[in-house]
Structure formats: structure tokens, C-alpha cells
Structure 1
Amino acid sequence: MDKLMNNHWVMKIIALLLALMLYLSVNIDNPTSPKQPPVSPLFPTASTDTATLTDIPVRTYFDQENLVVTGVPETVNVTLEGPTNSLVKARQLKDFEIFAELTELNQGTHRIELRHKNVAEDLDVSINPSVVTVSVQEKVTRDFPVEVDFINQSKMKEGYTTDQPIVQPNVVRVTGAREVIEKISTLKARVNLQDAEETVKEESKVTVYDRDGNILPLEIDPTVVDVTVPITSPSKSVPFKIARKGELPEGLSISSIEPNPNEVTVYGPQDVIDQLEFIDGVEVDLSKIKEDTVLKVDVPVPDGAKAVSPKKLEINIDVDEDKEKVIQEVPIQTIGLGEEKDLEFVEPAIQTVDLNVAGAPSVIDELDASDIELFVNLADLGDGEHNVPIEVNGPQNVTWSLPNDEVKVKISSQSS
């Protein structure tokens, strides 16, 4: 016995047993004491926990080729409870699935329970909502035309208007439940026209509406179309002035020059075209014309305008050999003479001259003195004799010459 008591291993075992007995006696005596921690078992069990995962997608199994299902939520909340290790793994991977099994359901309305799979066996699963009402209907596909809905049309630039819009493709395919398809009233693509002053090109989403203007949730193919809206600017038809440059070969004259058309349409801001009376700068080069000719010439776009139509003109030019003619005693008119002044023609002494004219026979034969204006400008001339140039105003396509380019006149103040 003494040998056992002297063995240190024996003493250690006895001490351990005494300590364990003391610990158990204390806990047995105070089983409900709120201040004492619970007895830890010799072999503790794994801890448990709870977690709620939100917005978990729901898959739906049904005959997608022939049926349409509504009422299944896109996402649900899932509460998992169980061992912490399994719970942490499920939260991180989210490799489980929540689904609605509808493959055996007939057409109509049904209440079904959402199910799950690929969840660890030691986890309890609670789905919210767990039961949903679904509708199973026949799938129908039809083609519908797409209309264009203008937004802010009243806010376009002043005077600008829309032309017929072009939609590509102009017909789209709509798929959905038969009873929803039958509610379709219109399909529209919207285009914003605020401040529009030129052709608008946009990609626009197609939206399906019922007769009350409500949007119908249907499958559309394609969902986006290309819309082109021609914008017509304010316009005005105006004549144009033909500017001639160069000279015809010697011995030829223009018998007629006729443009086609006689007016052009100018497009642009309202304030620009309101002030426009005619177009200047339509040029014809006479040096290149040796016979009857049809020229195609560009129409210039006036400053501030957007465009002209047509962009080119056809000008028919007929030429003929010159014919000369003398128009006798063409009167010389005076302009600019003050009321208090007297005038005397010195040379020539009479207030007429003979005028030599040349041009195409068809023009010259019809020409007489009434078609020609001769005048001298006496403005700002004082008393005394003056040599004043004669100015000629006559029809186009005619050339002329005078015996003298000037007249001598005498100006004097009237006696009071």
C-alpha cells in the first residue's frame, strides 16, 4: 500500500478523480442556478445556426414550346437552418435550386408548392412564399405591325414637320398566352422629336399595349427596331437669276434661254426663307456654247438655308446667227435734273439718237424703239456744259452700239 501511495502516477489519477467528483457535486447541487454555466459534455456536439438568403431565383419546369406559365415569382427568400459548417457552405456557393414543377399540369389555374434540390441533408429549408398560384395557358405566336409614337412633337423647331416614318423591321413577332395575345391593340416604338430640325434616326424599344393603354408583358422578337423619321423644314418656292459669264463666239446670238423648272424650292429656318425673294448665282458660261445646248447647272444654297430642290437645273439655250438692225430716233430720257434747272441738248441738238442693235433674227425682227430705254443721269451736275454718258436699258440677248457714247448738255438755273 505504501508503495502505491509513493507512486506519483497513482497520486495523479486519484487527484483527477477527486477533482471530477467535486465538479459534479457542485453542478448537481445547483442545477437551476442562472449564474452557473451549463455542464459541458465530455464529447460536445456540432453547433447549429440559421440564415435567410434573399432574392433566390426560381426555375420553372414546363412544356416551354407549347405552353405559357404566369404566376411563378422570379425570386423568393430561403431560410436555412442546421450545422454551421453546412450553412456557411450553402450561403457561399448557393449551388442549390428552388423550382416549380409544372410538367404534369393541365391548362388552367393551379396552386403549387415550390420545391428545392441540391440542399445538404443536414439543413432544414423554408421557402417564402412556399405556395403560389400559377396559370398554365396555350402559347400563341402572331405577327403585328409596329407603329411610331412621336414624343415632344410640339417642341420641334418652328415650321418643321414630320413625314411618314420608316420602321425596320415594320412587323415583329409576339409570343404569349392566347388570352393575352387577344388583348393586343397596338405595338409602338417611341421617338423623341424635341428640337428636331433634320431627319431623326433612332433605335427604339417595341412596347405592346392593350385597348386601355396598359402594357402587356409579352415576348417580342425583335425587341428593338430602327426608326427613321424624315423631318421637313419650312420651304418656299422662289425664282432665280441666271448670271451670264463669257461671250458667245462672234457672229452668234442667243435667241432664247429657258430654264426648267422656272422656280426652285428652298428649305431652311423660317426666318431665313421669309426674307428670301430669289436665288442668285445660277451661272451660264456662254464661251462654251457654239450651238443649241441644254446645260445642267448647280443651284446654290442661299446663306442660312438647309437645302434646295432641285439641286440642278436644265437650261435650254438656242442660238442663231446675228442679224443687225438700226432703230431710228430713240428718245433720250433725263433723270436727276433739279426742278429749278433748265436743260439744253448741245450735241446732238435733238434729244434722240439712232441705235444699232444685233441679235438672233427671232428677237431683232420684233424689236422697236418702245423696247429700248436711253437715258442720261444729270444728278449732282451744276450749271454749265457737261459730257454725260448715255445709258442703255434693253432686252436680254441683244447687243447694241451708239454713234456716240456721250451727249453734251447745258444746264442753267432758272431766272427768278
Structure 2
Amino acid sequence: MDKWLSHPTAMKILSVVLALLLWAVVHIDTDSSPQTVTSSIDTKTIEAAKINIEGLDADKFALTAMEPTVVRIDVQGKLTDLLSASSIDDYKVIVDVKDVKPGIQELPLVVKLPKGIQLVAMSPRTVTVQLEEIVTKTFDLQVVAEGKPAEGFVAGEPAAVTLSTEAAGPGIEVTLPKDDMQRVGSVVASVNIEGADKTVTDKKAKVVVYDTDGLEMTNAIVDPGTVMVEVKVTPPFKKVPLQVRYTGTLPDGFSIESIKPEIEEVTVYGDQQTIDALTVFDGVVFDLSKVKASGTFKVKTQLIDGIKSVDPSEISISVFVDPTVTRTFTGMAINMEGLAEGLTAVVRTPVSGKYDLTVSGAESILSKVEANQITITASLAGLGPGVHTIPLDVVLPAYVQTVAADGQPLSVTIEIVDDGSIGAGTGVETPPDETGTTPTVTPPATPDPGSGNGNAGGNAANSSE
């Protein structure tokens, strides 16, 4: 090898090769060499970028129409930036409706892009919007029961008992565009009672707005959006007049000035046949012996045959009492009824043929009683000739009682004679004022507590209802 390198020809060849290499290094053009690095810029197309609304005063206006709702955008940027902004939500297309007046208008679109990405193209670049003024109005809520209760039960009127949220005022507030508000037909909450056998309570119901054609207005904003409703599901029921029955007597020295239940009707529940036949409810019995002074007394209702429940179950009765006073009406006519044909009756005792009647009651009541408000009747039905002691039937105004001497029943002595024997030596004459007929005074159908009755001779509250 050393011999080869030391050979003159070899040295010459090596020198030429080195020279060529040095020349190539010095004269080669690096700018003319092929590009070996790939570009980092890329493009991206978003076919349906959503148009967002900004600047809308939702308290005054509603966006009722917008065309189009999406746009096509072309963007470019570094591949790394495009990859990091992969979601469509990163590309925001905005229309600003601030200070826009109601009506239809064409507005420009603005694009907000992620950092490092630029817009190349957008189609379209404008959007047409329609704004309408919105209004709020209060409506009455209709609660509707859907379905049927269990067999043998009936449903009452459904009602909203509480609101699930606090509204600004009574009723339901509905917010709609002004033109739509004119089409509101009803505001309804529905509750299902299918198969129910007891009252449906605390049932949450959605409030729905319907137009005049019965279609739901889905763009309506309602406050409150839900309500709590109740539907009474009961046996058949009926409202009937209340008739209070009385028992016992007031303490000595007191008389009733007025007595009145707080209500005049009650609702009774029972089988259909029973309530159909019922005309009055008398299942309230008030014991007068419990009254020691004026006041309000509570009395439980009592169930009668066929009645399952009564509403209300307790009645308040207001009672006013005053010290008892007496008053005597003198020369009262005695009406005789039921005398058989061909007979004549003559009052023998009292000899005057008239009756002096003493009555008792509260002073405020007795001071207003007139004689023509009192009727005294003697029944002669079925009696033949002879002398008879006849008990008197006395009809008095409410809260007035008869007072009998020595506690004896009120009565008169009447002689009945055969008309054929008159003038035939009997010496019996018929006073002209004792042959009159029954007066046209009709006793009350249901006497009040304290109405007098001469047959009893005492406190007539025992027979009052």
C-alpha cells in the first residue's frame, strides 16, 4: 500500500479528485436544491354554523322569525390550530339586534373565530330577522278533570289550591308576542281522576295556553308554570236546607231573644236514592239547657239513615238571651173549630167568653208583639152535646211562651147544645160573638224555639225545630 501511495501517478490522480471535491463544495447552489419541508397552513369548511342572537331585549321584544338560521363558512390556519378548534361551537356567527325596531329587517353577520384562524369566505353574509313587541297579560286559570272516578262516586269541581311558584298577582301571567296574545283562548291545568275513589289532593298540574282553535301555544311563557290542584271525589251529594232541632229548656229567668245557625244549607253525602228523597237535614240537635248566657255554640251534625257524611260536620249557632218578663193580653177571642153540624157551642168559663192570656219572653221580643199575632183555638171535633173542658191551642210569635196559672194547662169550659133544643125550654142562648169561624191566621209550619203552645202550658222549645 505504501508503495502504491508513493507512486507518482497515484499521487496525481488523488490530487485531481480532491480538487474536484473542493470545487463542488464551493460552487454548488443550495437555493436551487428541491424543497423538502411540507407547508403547515390548511383550510376548513363548516357547512352549518349556527347564527347566534345578541343584543335582544327579551323583556320588550321576541324574535319571531330568522332566515337563514345557519351559514357556510370557509376558514384557514395552522393545522394545529384547526385541530384544536374542532367543535362547531368554536365558530360563532352573530347577528346583533340591539336597537333594532320591531318589524322585518336585513342585518349583517359577524364571525368570531378561534385564535390563529382566519375567515376565507361566508355564505350568506346577511340574515333577515323579524322582531315583535311582547306583552304580558293575566288570565284566569281553568282546572279541568280528565277521566271518570270509580263507580258509585262523583267528582266535584276541580280547583287550584296552591301555586307552585309565586306569581306577580292573581291568576296566571302569560307572555307572548303582541299579535299572538290576541289569539289566546284559554289557560288550562288538567288533572287525571280516572278510577279515583277518594279526593285527589296535592296533584301537580302543568299550565298550558291554548289558542281560540284549541291548539297549544308552545311559544307562550307562563308564570307559574305549574299549580297544585284538588278534585273532590265523593259519594253522590246534595245541598239541602238545615233545620235545627232543639231539646231541653233555658235556665229559669232567661228567654231567647234570637237564635240562628251560621249557615242555612249543608251538603249531605250518601247513596243516590237517599239523597234524592231528602228535602231537609235535621241532624243537628241543640240542647238549650247548656245556654247560660249569650254566645256562640258549636254543635256536631248527626248522621241519619243513608247519609254517610255531612259538610260541615260542625255547626255554629249564635244565641242571645235576656231576662224573662211577662205580659198579659186581655179579651182575646177564642176560635172554636170542628163543631159538628146542628150543634151550637157556648163558652161558659170564662163567663165573658174572652180569654186573658199571659205570655213570657225577652223584653225586646214581647214589646213588639201585637194581639193579632196570637191565635187561641179550641178544638170541638168529635164532641157531642154537654159541658166540656177543652184545652187551648195557642200559636205565638217566635221565642214567646204561654204562662199558665198555677202550672195548669190552658183550657176553657164550653157547653155544646143541639140546635133543635134551643128555644124549647132549655134557656140556652148563643152569644153572637161566639159563633164565628176560624180566623185566617196560619200557624208557622215549623215553630221556632220558644213558640207557645197552650196544650203544653210550658216552654215550647221542646217541640220546636
Q: TM-score range by the shorter chain?
A: 0.3 to 0.5
Task: Give TM-score scaled by structure 2 length.
Answer: 0.43
Task: Give TM-score scaled by structure 1 length.
Answer: 0.47
